[in-house]
Amino acid sequence: MYKLVALDMDGTLLNSEKALTSRVREAIKSAKEQGIKVVLASGRPFEGMLPTLKELDLDGADDYVLTYNASLILKVACKSVVSSAILTGQDAIDLNKLADKLGVNILAYSMTRGLITPKQNEYTDYEAKLNGIEYSEFDFNMLDADEDILKVMMIDQEQTLSKAVEQLPKSLQEKYSMARSTPFFYEFMNKNSNKGMGMAALTAHLGLTAEQIICVGDAANDLEMIKYAGLGVAMENGSDEVKANADYITASNDQDGVAHVFEKYVLN
């Protein structure tokens, strides 16, 4: 019997209008009433997830959330840290130099400074607006080497970013957990930070097993948790790689795909 369902947000839980449909909302409500724990797992910062957590009544004392691609796992109500795996200021400095060399923009989430970028650009504007937060322009070379950095993202138009990703040194794979979360975002996290590792940490914390978990997602940063879960589910709108590794492919995020999962595997 499944006891926990983990859901990505963008492209999965939310439709193309970045909204919850009534069918999805009701499916989650019914699952909670049956004692199923529902957890959101997103690349977004906590602030960008909180409105949806509140809308789904997932902001209580016993609710958990995976933020920044599981770089932080928090108890929602008190924001206490269950698990963390983050970067340093030196990582941001080094990746900024590489971004300059490759000709792409960059941003980072600092634990103390919030969302920062070396220069204003449309993709940082998008990230800030999406999550309802502010950002500041900041010279990454001025970061403290040991400053806590949650994640770094290379950001640019799809073709430019794709070309840059192709030129990334192979050595980065040994140093960072990396994933493309949208056509214009490429994310760098701590080597021990991805949604699969995050789900493993939360599963252990809750005394559950992987076989009791359903994970649903659409993009490359969802791949590890889909492979980890007892039932890994890909959205019809998901990437080919995610669908190839899933146990089940549900309908798209514009066709209540998440509700289908609950109705097929949890509510019945």
Whole-model pTM: value is: 0.90
Structural domains for the chain: 4-84+193-265 (3.40.50.1000), 87-190 (3.30.1240.10)
Tokens describing residue 163: 């070309």
Nearby residues of 105 by Cβ (< 8 Å), 6 or more positions away? 99, 117, 118, 119, 121, 123, 124, 154, 155, 156
- How is residue 145 written in tokens? 């080497």
* pLDDT tens digit sequence for 171-211: 999 999 998 989 999 999 999 999 999 999 999 999 999 99
Residues in CB range of 152: below 8 A, 6 or more apart? 87, 91, 92, 95, 106, 107, 108, 109, 187, 188
pLDDT digits (tens, 9 = 90+) for 217-254: 999 999 999 999 999 999 999 999 999 999 999 999 99
- Residue in 8, 91, 222, 256 annotated catalytic: 8
The verdict on whether 94 is a catalytic residue reads: no
pLDDT tens for 89-137 read 999 999 999 999 999 999 999 999 999 999 999 999 999 999 999 999 9
Of 69, 64, 9, the residue nearest 208 (C-alpha): 64
pLDDT of residue 268: 74
- Among 67, 47, 7, 65, which Cα is nearest to 31's? 7
Whose structure tokens read 């990505």?
Answer: 8
